[in-house]
Copies of this chain bind each other. A is one copy, B any other.
Amino acid sequence: VADLTLEDIAQKAGVSRSTVSRVVNGHQNVSDGVRKRVLEVIRSTGYHPNPAARNLASQRSWMIGLVIPRSVSVFFTDPYFPHLTQGVAQACNQHDYTLGLFLIGTKEDEEKVFPRISHRGSLDGILLQTGQIGDHLIDRLINSNMPVVIVGRPFHADGVSYIDVNNTDAACNAVSHLIRLGYQRIAMITGPHNSTTSIDREEGYHRALTERGRRVDEALVAEGDFTEASGYYAMRHLLAAKPDAVFAASDIMALGAMRAAREAGLRVPQDVAFVGFDDLPLANPPDPPLTTIRQPVYQFGGAAVEILIDMIDNGIEPPRRVIMTTELIVRESCGASLRR
């Protein structure tokens, strides 16, 4: 089945290449009769334009890159990435873009991948999941004057478009909820301190406490890295400070922390309450169900793709910021039903 070309279709339809091209691309200026005839030939022959040729001539690749750096182990277990990926994939489909996936685990990966993504001609635009201090991949990409949308607030936000939730408000909300329930020693398990996400959530924790005239006790703050194991160890560490409630910067860490609490003979939520962050469906649902902040990760994907396509179509111009909304989901782990 030798592949057909525009030329072949043109011949069969008795028109010129240009006309077929117009029909294929849905341009105006084609009479209904001709359009119909051409369309029929295309349908009956099963013709599809050659993407490489189209890309070369139009200087567009119709491909969006999703770049996920530094995530080897987390990508495996955190439901965040599959959700984001799925959201992006779905949106790409809808807009007739192809999704290129670039997982960058090591510096070498980055060097290998960079030329392939930094260049217009292979990609029309880039979605970059990040939010790490000193993540100079962002700068490199911005300098390459590719349209780029960051998922998560970048540390240097000047001139870049990004999409995020208001992590500070959301975290503040979560902690305020615990305060309202009457907890006195509210601990926090943060993410890595070089992640903007974690920084913002920690700020929310501080704000909630100070707004109510409370003091932040550093003994009640422990750092994790968004893995279950890190939540577990952070909690073991926190146990000495005897928290009666814990706000974890992610659900997964909250689960690890709950495991540590139980191991220490504490009941959840009677002896220690938990609130997490994310509210993504987990492979095995926790018991008790987790009170948490819901963020629309799947929707991030769609929204990010739309911003990006807009930048691709209309030039980069002023950076866009989209802040999506979060929601406190009250379940058992915070003890709300017991305390009210």
Could you list which residues of chain A lie within 8 angstroms of chain B, going by C-beta atoms?
A: 1, 3, 48, 50-53, 55-56, 59, 61, 63, 66, 72, 75-79, 81-83, 85-86, 89-90, 93, 96, 98-103, 105, 109, 112-113, 115-116, 118-122, 145, 228, 252, 255-256, 259, 280-287
Select one of B86, B105, B286 contacting A75, CB under 8 A.
B86
The answer to whether A77 touches B76 (Cβ under 8 A) is no
Choose among A85, A101, A287 the residue with the greatest number of B CB atoms under 10 Å from its CB: A101
| Consensus secondary structure, chain A interface | mixed
The answer to whether A120 touches B3 (Cβ under 8 A) is yes
Q: Which residues of B contact A101 (CB under 8 A)?
A: 66, 85, 89, 99-101
Q: Check A285/B100 contact, CB under 8 A, given A55-B55, A109-B93, A119-B51.
A: no
Cα(A50)–Cα(B119), bound, Å: 8
Cα(A116)–Cα(B63), bound, Å: 11
Could you list some 14 contacts between A and B, CB below 8 A? A53-B121, A75-B86, A76-B83, A76-B280, A79-B283, A81-B82, A82-B82, A86-B103, A89-B102, A90-B105, A93-B113, A99-B101, A259-B287, A284-B284
Cα(A98)–Cα(B52), bound, Å: 14
CB distance from A110 to the nearest CB of B (A): 10
Cα(A228)–Cα(B76), bound, Å: 18
Q: Which residues of B contact A105 (CB under 8 A)?
A: 90
Q: Which residues of B contact A259 (CB under 8 A)?
A: 284-285, 287
Shortest beta-carbon contacts, A-B, top 8? A52-B55, A52-B56, A255-B284, A51-B122, A89-B103, A101-B101, A50-B121, A77-B283
The answer to whether A284 touches B281 (Cβ under 8 A) is no
Choose among A48, A76, A256, A283 the residue with the greatest number of B CB atoms under 10 Å from its CB: A283
Cα(A283)–Cα(B83), bound, Å: 14
Q: Which residues of B contact A122 (CB under 8 A)?
A: 51-52, 98
Q: Which residues of B contact A93 (CB under 8 A)?
A: 103, 109, 112-113
Cα(A113)–Cα(B286), bound, Å: 37
The answer to whether A100 touches B98 (Cβ under 8 A) is yes
Q: Check A121/B3 contact, CB under 8 A, given A77-B281, A116-B98.
A: yes
